[in-house]
Structures are given as C-alpha cells and as structure tokens.
Amino acid sequence: MEEGHKKILQRYRINIVTSLDPSSVYDRLLQKGVFTPEMIERIKSSGTPRDQARQLARDLATRGSRAFPLFLECLQDSEQHSLAELLRSGGSMSNDLILPVVRTPPVSSAVDFQKQIKAAPIHPLHSPGPSPGAENRQAQTEIRTRMEGRKRRDSLQKFPLATQSYKMDATPCGHCLIINNVDFEPQSELSNRTGSNTDCDRLERRFKALHFLVEVRTNLKQRRLKHELSALSKKDHSPYDCCVVIILSHGTEVNHNRFPGAVYGVDGQYVPVQLITNYFNGKHCPSLQGKPKLFFIQACGGGEKDQGFEVPSDEFEPSEGGIDDQTDAIPASSSSDSLSTSDEPDAGATLPTPSDILVSYSTFPGYVSWRDTQSGSWYIETLDRILEENAANEDLVTMLMMVNNEVSQNSAKGIYKQMPTSFNSLRKYLHFQTSTPGQNSVQHN
C-alpha cells in the first residue's frame, strides 16, 4: 500500500473503528481479492465489531497498492458513504464527519443551518451509472450527516471540548514514579518477585515515550515507600498536566472506604492504596487540583484464586500462561491491622476529594494477580502493548477496557483466571500525548 494511504488509515483509525460496519464489507473485500478467506476469518475472530474494524484497518495497510481504492469501493457498495468520502478526501471534507476532537464552528440558528443545507452542493459518488433513486438516497444521507453534525455542535456548545478532555500537552507531561519491589527481606515471609524487573523496564520506556519524567525506586521498605510518595506530592506540579504512580509489589486485602487493597514494602509492612491516593488529594497536593492522577497497581488484591466459569467455545480463544506463573499475594490481613475507615480524612477541596483519580488494579479486590517469572506480569505486559498500539487514538479508560478483555482470556497453569479492574473518578476523557513536541497533531484540550 502507498505510504500516503497508510497515513490516512492511521490518521482516521478511530473513525474507522467507531463507524465501520465490518460485516457488510467482508464478502466484497474477498471478491475483490483484497483479503484471503483465511484473513477474513482471522479478522472476524478478533472480537467485537469495533475490534474487527480495528484489525481490518491494520491488515489493510499490509496489502498491495490497490487495497485502499478497492476498500473505498467496498464502502460505497455497502452504502457507508460518509466514511468512504472522509477517507477519499484525506480529511479535507466537512468537519461534521470527524469525531468531536476537532473544533467545529457553531451554527447560529436553525434557519442559518437550513440555508447551509440548501446551498451546499451535493456531489454524486463516482460509481458507474447511478440511478436517480441512488442519488436521492445519497442526498438524504448527506443531509442526515449534516443534521447529526449540528446536533454534535449543539452538544459541544453546552459542554465545550475543554470540559470533555483533560489538557495533556505540557512538555514534559508530568512526573511518573515507579516503585519496583523485587527482593523481600527474609523476615517478611514474602517471596522475591522474579520477573518484576521486566515489568519495570517496559513501563519506564512506555511512559518516557508518553513524555513523562520517569523516576524508578527499587526495593523500598514501608517507611521509605511512604517517604517517596510524600516527596512526590510536595513537588510543584503547576507546569505539568498529570501525575502517574506505578507500584509493582506484593499486595493484600484491607478494609477501606474508597480505594481497596494495600501494597507491601520489602520489610513486609504494607501501605493501603487509600493512603497512597490521599498523598495527592486537594489538601496535600494543591498543584494537582483538577488534574488527572493515575495509579497503576500490580499486586494481589487478596489470596483467592479464580477458576472462572465456562463460556461457549466460540466466545474467545483462551490463552494459557506459562508454567512459571506466580502470584503477588499473601493472605488478607486481619481486622485488627486493617486500615480504619477514619484514617486520612480529607478536607477543604474545591472538587470532591476523590475526583480526577484513576486507580487501575491488576486484579479484582480479593483475588490474586499472576506474574510470569520470565516475561513479567500478565497485566503489565498487556497494558504496555495496548498503550503502544492505541494511545495515539484511544482514551485511557477505553484502553483499560481492552486490557481487561485480553487479560481475562489468560489462564494460569491452564486453570486460574485474572480480572483487572479500575476505580475511576476522572471527570473527562484522558488522551496521552504521543507525538513529538512541536509536531502537528490533534490536540485534546
């Protein structure tokens, strides 16, 4: 495929994923020789219609020079005219057809809008011998598209783009602290976390690529772990747009009133996740007020092992973990040493105290989290790959849902399952900065 066509597919991948009806083009792509039957079957088995559309776009970019124009013909034949015209024009057509990450000028009134519709030329599709009925359907489709664009503009006037996406264009974007606890002291009675260094290296590279200032701390005792979190919270975050904390350690279940779980220092003493997030609330870290604070926890939420439940064989293709899979758990703590619901009270915040926080856990509260001693943990390996492949087009919450789906299909020792989860109080979409500062790109304000 020509490089220009590849760039169009990449630039408008999110439009393809959200707008394409893949089932309506499979037979046409097969007939035109764009894909083989085996490739079509592989795309169909990739998951939901959105997953299929995403895989189709990826595979399309690997085909020959005629693949792109033939794909446009398939879109026309299946009456997906808006998407076909968007891709044909390379983005030069009306902003009405672009998802609302691009600002569109407001329409002053319904009367003005109707005038625009009447004055707008209707360009017929370049297909052989269209009938009058086909032209009428095309005209109706374009009018409906414009009407939908107006509804989007009206919605954006009530809820401007500035309230829909966090500002994430600072250079650098913010601080990222990675705490990697690998070697545990003998008195802790916790095993060493072989494979965690692989996780740490992956995440250090990934968040540097996302333009964060990354610092790594290794093998911290409980007191030092708290000190590092406190020191980060006391920094001036005013020049930055975001803050990320990643903890790779053993974990356990504790009582809580907001964020469950706790992580261990290498001395066997734990720190509740709720306390970790409190370091960065409005009272303790005013320079992060209204900014997203992201926490990624690779640790067990308890000691329970999930054996899953049976689903139809065509639901998905299960993936088995390696024989070296280990957990990051010890038994849940007793009520006498659990976090009291009155610990770390918050006060005086302009927004609700837990606002603008996302805590992503590698596993559901109460359950173990699996880690391969060679390739690292299921959760971190998947998170890194999803960020690499999708951060340019998708928001964080959508990507975490992708992580959930993929990790849920793994099996440890052919038996045990794992389900990541998130506690999310973000108020806006969060799109990471993926382009090199200074390059032209779509900005999320």
Which residue numbers are catalytic?
250, 300
Angle in degrees, 0-180, between the axes of helices 67-77 and 49-60, rounded to the nearest 10: 150
Alpha carbon distance 363, 272 (integer Å)? 16
Return the residue matching tokens 């999803």: 386
Give the strand order in the sheet containing 325-327.
325-327, 370-372, 376-377
Alpha carbon distance 416, 382 (integer Å)? 17
* Ordered DSSP codes for 304-357: B-B------TTS---EE--TTEEE-B-PPPPGGGSPPTTSS-----SS-TTTTE
* Ordered DSSP codes for 108-159: --HHHHHHHHHHS--PPPS-SS--HHHHHHHHHHHHHHHHHHHHHHHHHHHS
CA dihedral 276, 280, 283, 284 (to 10 degrees): 80
Cα 71 to Cα 25, 141, 188, 204, 420: the distances in Å are 8, 20, 60, 39, 37
Q: How many CA atoms lie within 13 A of 232 on its CB side?
A: 29
Is the separation of the CB atoms in 289 and 346 below 8 Å?
Answer: no
Q: 440 Cβ partners below 8 Å, 6+ apart?
A: none
> Angle at Cα 378 formed by Cα 377 and Cα 382, nearest 5°?
115
> Angle at Cα 308 formed by Cα 306 and Cα 310, nearest 5°?
165
